[in-house]
Amino acid sequence: MTVMTFMNAVLENISVKASDWEAPESPAPSIDNLTGLLTKTGFMNAASKVLARGGLIPSSYAAISVKLDDLYTAKVMQDMTSGGPAIKEIAHRIRTSIRAGDLVARTDDDEFTILMPNVISEIAVLNIASRIQAAVCQPIAGEELQPAPSLTIGITITNDTQNPLFEEVLYRSDRALQEARLVCRGAIHMFDSTLEGERDRREEIEQDLRNAVTNDELLIHYQPIYDIKNSVISHLEALVRWQHPELGLVPPTDFISVAESNGTIEAIGNWVLRQAFLDAQQLDERGMESIDISVNLSLEQLKLPSVLEAFEEVSRTHPQHKGRIALEVTQGAVNDEQYQMIDELKSLRDCGFKIFLDNFGVDKISVDHLQRLEPDAVKIDRSLIANIDQNQADLAIVRSILNLADGLNLSVIAQGVETLPCLKLLVRENCRYAQGYYVSRPLPLAEAVEVIQQKFETAGLASALSSI
């Protein structure tokens, strides 16, 4: 038998009959009216028939989970009110990207599931997944949805004809999808059983994180920011920590990305903002009305339609602190045109918040963006500051930022100030503010207040700089 004859026989054997697509005698429909694809019910019924039929080669099959990324999902939901032309086109692109004998279903508003029976190799499955992604992630002609669709894909392949059950295989492909969304949205990710224990632990962390706010496990450490010109602590940056009952104090780098992926970033971000306002009141009671507080605002939180209303509400309940709270957003949030966050940030400024542009200098940003946003301050990324007294290239970049900020009347905060020589150089370059471990490490509010009251750090810095 030639290879071509063999492949034709395989395709003949796995072709889906019309009966596989017919509605079962169940109240649940088997066909999605909008796209013409199988529903979840229809998919499970058809899949059981296809897999039971077997094939001429060992019964290897793959499950592929496909999910549109969040921004486009919101656009699709709007689009569905007018008949869903975008989702219809996406469904058509997926259906024409797979093999004739594969099953595809629309299993949620923005999710699709594919069964590839009788697969020959992992490469063949990855090729199909790449084909789907290339086809879908193109602009849709004749409709106003922007940006172009984007999606993330999870894959699992099994050779076992009895175990695991098909439901378990689908679960694994969905796990691969969720893993891909955590690491890099827009990726194609293959399920890896060796990571199962790690994923189980991550799921436990996710569940624990969902309870962190209600269980009062979050707290804030504040890192002082030094006003070099006036020799005082002028700001405190609020840095959230998670006091996990088993893991101890967990830094934000270990859980914020998880919070962004599982949706808890909204509750955490709102809690941090409310706590910052309460702590501003504590500063007032100690005669520290001149100290402002900055709060980090995640891009994922900024995308949420509820963020403006939630922040307005908190601001209204603390009118005495209007103008005292700054929101720190990364330069990347402003750069990315598809999110169009400048208008959102300007609306937040209208509510009384200052805007700080964080991680400044590591990516390109246009002067137009700066002029449109009009941030109150830019924070030079620590990677440019750490060795500024030894690296001429970093010094040249910092000088350019300081000149640009001076021309646009922006305050500049240098992050990552760890040594006295670094601080002295910043003074010579007329940088107004410094933040870093040389000034102070992040501290609980009571300890930060002690630093300010005793003027320990401030006096020490002023003395060290007096010889300049």
Alpha-carbon distance 87 to 374, whole Å?
38
Q: Do β-strands 111-117 and 103-108 pair in parallel, antiparallel, or remain unpaired?
A: antiparallel
User: pTM value?
Assistant: 0.60
What CATH code is carried by the domain that includes residue 412?
Answer: 3.20.20.450
Pair 100, 11: CB distance under 8 Å? yes
Task: State the pLDDT at residue 433.
Answer: 95
Q: Which of 191, 223, 246 is the last residue of a domain?
A: 191
Q: What is the DSSP letter of 38?
A: B
Q: Residue 224 forms beta bridges with which residues? A: 236
Kindly give the interhelix angle for 420-428 and 456-465, rounded to the nearest 10 degrees.
60
What CATH code is carried by the domain that includes residue 157?
Answer: 3.30.70.270
Residue listed under structure tokens 């990726």: 187
Pair 413, 377: CB distance under 8 Å? yes
**In-domain check, residue 198:** no
Alpha-carbon distance 40 to 28, whole Å?
9
**In-domain check, residue 2:** no
Domain count, the chain: 2
Three-state secondary-structure class, residue 330? strand
Pair 183, 89: CB distance under 8 Å? no
Do residues 243 and 384 share a domain? yes
Closest residue by Cα to residue 106 from 12, 209, 32, 211: 32
Do residues 287 and 414 share a domain? yes
Note the Cα 142 to chain centre separation in Å: 30
Containing domain of residue 393, as a range?
204-465
Structure tokens at 221: 């450490």
Alpha-carbon distance 239 to 358, whole Å?
14
**In-domain check, residue 7:** no
Do residues 296 and 232 share a domain? yes
Q: Which of 167, 191, 215 is the last residue of a domain?
A: 191
Do residues 209 and 136 share a domain? no
Dihedral sign for Cα 289, 290, 291, 293, please.
Answer: positive
Task: State the pLDDT at residue 2.
Answer: 42
Alpha-carbon distance 17 to 2, whole Å?
26
Do residues 282 and 431 share a domain? yes
Do residues 227 and 102 share a domain? no
Task: State the pLDDT at residue 147.
Answer: 63
Do residues 147 and 259 share a domain? no
| Tens-binned pLDDT, residue by residue, of the chain (468 aa) | 443 333 343 333 333 333 333 434 445 678 998 899 999 999 998 988 888 765 444 468 899 999 987 656 656 666 665 557 888 889 999 999 999 889 999 998 889 999 998 888 888 899 999 999 999 888 887 655 556 788 899 999 987 554 567 888 898 899 888 888 877 777 898 887 665 555 566 677 778 888 888 899 999 999 999 999 888 899 999 999 999 888 888 888 878 888 887 888 999 999 999 999 999 999 999 889 889 999 999 888 888 888 889 999 988 888 888 889 999 998 777 765 545 688 888 889 988 899 999 988 877 676 777 888 889 999 999 889 988 988 898 899 999 999 999 988 999 999 999 999 999 999 999 999 999 999 899 999 999 998 887 654 444 455 544 444
**In-domain check, residue 8:** no
**In-domain check, residue 12:** no
> Up-side HSE of residue 27: CA atoms within 13 Å toward CB?
0
- For 346, residues 6+ apart whose C-beta sits below 8 A from its C-beta are 372, 373, 374
Do residues 214 and 316 share a domain? yes
Count of beta carbons in the 10 Å neighbourhood of residue 419: 16
Q: What is the dihedral of CA 226, 230, 232, 235, to 10 degrees?
A: -50
Q: Which of 191, 221, 250 is the last residue of a domain?
A: 191
Pair 375, 410: CB distance under 8 Å? yes
Pair 276, 317: CB distance under 8 Å? no
Stretch (H or E) spanning 363: none
Do residues 183 and 210 share a domain? no
Task: State the pLDDT at residue 82.
Answer: 57
Alpha-carbon distance 110 to 96, whole Å?
18
Alpha-carbon distance 45 to 31, whole Å?
11
